[in-house]
Structures are given as C-alpha cells and as structure tokens.
Amino acid sequence: MKTIVIIAIAFLLSSCSDNEWYCKTQGQTMFSMSSSGEIGGAGKGCSCSEIRAFELRTFGEVDEAALKSDFGC
C-alpha cells in the first residue's frame, strides 16, 4: 500500500509534457518513464491491468478501493 501512495504522490507532482510514457517496474516499485527519460507516477504510463497485476505479484493482493481512488481503475 505504501508503494501506491508514493506512486500517487509522484503522479501528482510530475509535470505535464508531450512525451510518450511507458510503464516500468523495478523491484517493488512501479513507475512510468517518458521517451525523454523523465520519471513519473504509474498512472502516466501504466494501464489498470498492469497496475493490478503488479500489486497482485508484489503484495499478494489488490486493493481495489485504492486503485479506484488513486488511478480511476
């Protein structure tokens, strides 16, 4: 759950740009990286299914309420 909060904060603090965003995972962290190398929250480049699969794989469960409030999934 802590990871989701960190990702959500990073998403809110990240700046807008015209770059393409790609979903990345590193250990127990999921984030997005732009085509120019910027790092942002998971919501920029990760789909709901990717976020859901990451949570299940990493934490063994999916917090559906947090997904809905943080990412609209």
Domain spans of the chain? Answer: 2-71
Handedness of CA 21, 22, 23, 25 (dihedral sign): negative
Residue 19: the pLDDT is: 85
Residue 16: the pLDDT is: 52
- Digit-coded pLDDT (tens) for 17-52: 578 999 999 999 999 999 999 999 999 999 999 999
Which residues, 6 or more positions from 9, have their beta carbon under 8 angstroms from its beta carbon? 41
Q: Where are the beta strands (DSSP E) in 1-73?
A: 21-26, 29-34, 39-40
> Is the CB of residue 55 less than 8 Å from the CB of residue 46?
no
Average pLDDT along the chain: 86
How are beta strands 29-34 and 21-26 bridged, if at all? antiparallel
